[in-house]
Amino acid sequence: MPTINKISDHSEMIWSQGSTSLAASAATTNGTHAGAGASTLIATYFKHSSFNLYFNYRAFLSFDLSGESGTVTGVTLTVMRQNSATTPILHFLASEASDDVAVADYQDGLVGATGYPFTDDVTKFVDSGVNMNADGGGDGDQVTFTFNAAAVTHANAVMGSGKFKVAIVNQYDLNNTYGSSGIGNAFAVQGAVFNSTQDSTTGNHPILNVTTADPTIGSVKLNGAKIHIVNGKFLIN
């Protein structure tokens, strides 16, 4: 079956920087920053209470399928890693973020989210999330995640006419469990970090792999007629 490997046109992150807790940063309607210039694509967190820094990140990826055709039968996502971190679990959600992501997309960019938490309101493209410990590869590796039937349905809806958009959030953000997570201070962003479309090497950008059904081959009955090709002209007598 044919596969289209579509390089992302926009894959960037939005984060909310707060000064009280990770839970509070996750719960804001808008982000505080959009990572238009960052080569990193992050969907995790940074916390250091001594510096009053509590960051919750969400990643938004977009793939233009408007020029494509066919019936989609499968969708996978390939991303390049910038580190080898194994936790937390990541969730892949349907997105409707703007093309040039902005702070207002922090929550509004998630299909179905009308407030926080949005645990039961969003559409998952991987049923139970991705355990980076089991599925993640390491620094510099390309890793591929297989999407579910909801993603296939969404891809068919935008095939030939629009963009396939997906957001990545982490388990504590999706499930509103930062408060009970026991996450301590650290001097670095925790969890898996991927390459955004701001990375200078296009080959490192996220890729959506769209598998389509084999094209149907029709037949024509001539019922006694003959086909001639004469001087480059196609004739049926």
Partner 1 sequence: MPITTEQEAIDTIFPDDDTKNINDVIQTLVNGNLGTTEEVKAILKSANPSVDWSF
Contact residues toward partner 1 (CB under 8 A) are 17, 19, 38, 40, 42, 46, 48-53, 55, 82, 186-189, 193
C-beta of residue 162 within 8 angstroms of C-beta of residue 66 = yes
CB of 54 to partner 1, least distance (A): 9
CB of 121 to partner 1, least distance (A): 29
For partner 1, give the closer residue by CB, 49 or 69: 49
CB of 48 to partner 1, least distance (A): 8
Where are any strands of DSSP class E within the chain?
3-7, 10-18, 33-34, 40-42, 45-48, 53-64, 72-80, 90-94, 142-146, 163-170, 193-195, 207-212, 227-230, 233-236
CB of 26 to partner 1, least distance (A): 17
For partner 1, give the closer residue by CB, 101 or 152: 101
CB of 191 to partner 1, least distance (A): 10
Nearest to 43 by CA among 98, 109, 100: 109
Q: How far are the Cα atoms of 45, 181, 195 from residue 117, in angstroms, in the given order?
A: 17, 16, 27
Residues with Cβ < 8 Å from 127, sequence gap 6 or more? 148
Three-state DSSP at 51 gives helix
Burial class (CB in 10 A: 0-12, 13-18, 19+), 71: middle
For partner 1, give the closer residue by CB, 103 or 150: 103
For partner 1, give the closer residue by CB, 41 or 208: 41
CB of 66 to partner 1, least distance (A): 33
For partner 1, give the closer residue by CB, 149 or 188: 188
For partner 1, give the closer residue by CB, 170 or 212: 170
